Amino acid sequence: MLRNVKLKKFLVDKVFPFFSVLNKAIPKDKNRILIYSANGQLQDNSGVLLEYLIKNKYYKKYTIICASEKHDGFTSPDKKRVVFIPQYGGIYQYMRSKYVFYSFGQIPIKPAQDQNVFYTTHGIPLKKTVEVKKLDLFFSYMMITSEFFKEKIAEAYQCPKEKICICGEPKTDKMFIHSENPDNTRLIVWTPTFRQSDYLGYDDSHMSSLLPFFKDEEWGNLNDVLRDKNVKIIAKMHPAQNTKGFSEIVYSNLEIYSDRSFKKNGMELYELLGKSNALIADYSSVYLEYLLLNRPIGFALADYDDYKNTRGFILGDQIKYMPGKKICHRDDFYAYIDDIANGVDEFESERKRMQELFHQYKDGHNCERILKIAGIKM
């Protein structure tokens, strides 16, 4: 990902307009698909879509080009038809491909008329951007999950409604693969959003600890409580969160990972969510995706006012759209743990109402759906 803001602006404003003109003149291969990522490696919606294409042998009809800095974990039985290239090679392949998909970053070249470029996003947008302004749209379609979001996303991203397409997120398909926890221990996944991020330029909260409610020296005591109640928590930091000097903390019933160590230990978030019994979230879109499972959600809101006044939310008062126990203090946290341990669930009907609002599709077939919308057929 290019992090020099001035250089990036110069390239987008002065250099890439030439490529946009050139792109219109280059014929597109109707059997060529480009999966692009500017976030270090293929992951999220674009990575899951690539897995689906390979698993279902789309390479028998299409050449699939994967442009990313890293391609860890991806293999194909046909290395001539599924090609992995460095990220910078994506520019040339973009101009040759009929179909382009990306979740992180973008190639700032305007699509040609005979080209379908899909911004699959990397989560249902909840938080405001630093600055909302009229943007050049380097995509044909932006994917969202329900009609409820169309007007709000159009306003927040200054995107014409005709470019907004309703389709579930490919990555949530993984939650339906293993939808039960095989262990007797009640599993809670904790997914805090980022507060401070150097490379994104955000500082959205005065809360400096990676997780609220507990000091570092208190994790052992929390683990003892969880063990006594037969509950396990796995916490994963947001990829954008500053985690310098931190890797992981592992106890018998409490595991806390940076994004890097989480992946290094071979874990995949959405498969883990599918196996979980409950979630602890805050202002991350993960909780909206978890609504598909209609399982208990606790909301860690220790810095809600701080975050609201600093960054803000697309939906305004976000609390109205949080169907679960509000955790503002340590006592609230322990009360939520008790509820999960004892099978208490007060918010099922409210979650169902939010599920209907935020998700048009709830079937775990989003990869299939987005390819159909794009016109990609076997």
Is residue 137 within 8 Å of 73, Cβ to Cβ? no
Distance between CA atoms of 299 and 283, rounded to whole angstroms? 8
SS in 3 state form for 111-161?
CCCCCEEEECCCCCCCECCCCCCCCCCCCCEEEECCHHHHHHHHHHCCCCH
Segment 9-18 mean pLDDT: 86
| 254-257 vs 231-236, strand pairing mode | parallel
Distance between CA atoms of 83 and 334, rounded to whole angstroms? 49
Confidence of residue 67 (pLDDT cuts 50, 70, 90): very high
DSSP state of 312: -
CA–CA–CA angle 178, 104, 305 (5° rounding): 85
Residues 6+ apart with CB under 8 A from 302: 207, 212, 213, 327, 328, 329
Higher pLDDT, 192 or 370: 370
> What percentage of the chain carries pLDDT values higher than 70?
85
Counting runs of H as helices and runs of E as strands, what totals does the chain give? 13, 16
Show the tokens assigned to 31. 């059997």
Closest CA to 283 of 360, 188, 207: 207
Model's pTM, two decimal places? 0.88
Distance between CA atoms of 126 and 137, rounded to whole angstroms? 20
Give the pLDDT confidence of 89-131 residue by residue, as tens digits. Answer: 999 999 999 999 998 778 899 999 999 999 988 777 676 654 4
Distance between CA atoms of 286 and 259, rounded to whole angstroms? 14
Amino acid at 83: V
Domains of the chain: 11-168+365-374 (3.40.50.11820), 174-358 (3.40.50.12580)
Average pLDDT, the chain: 86
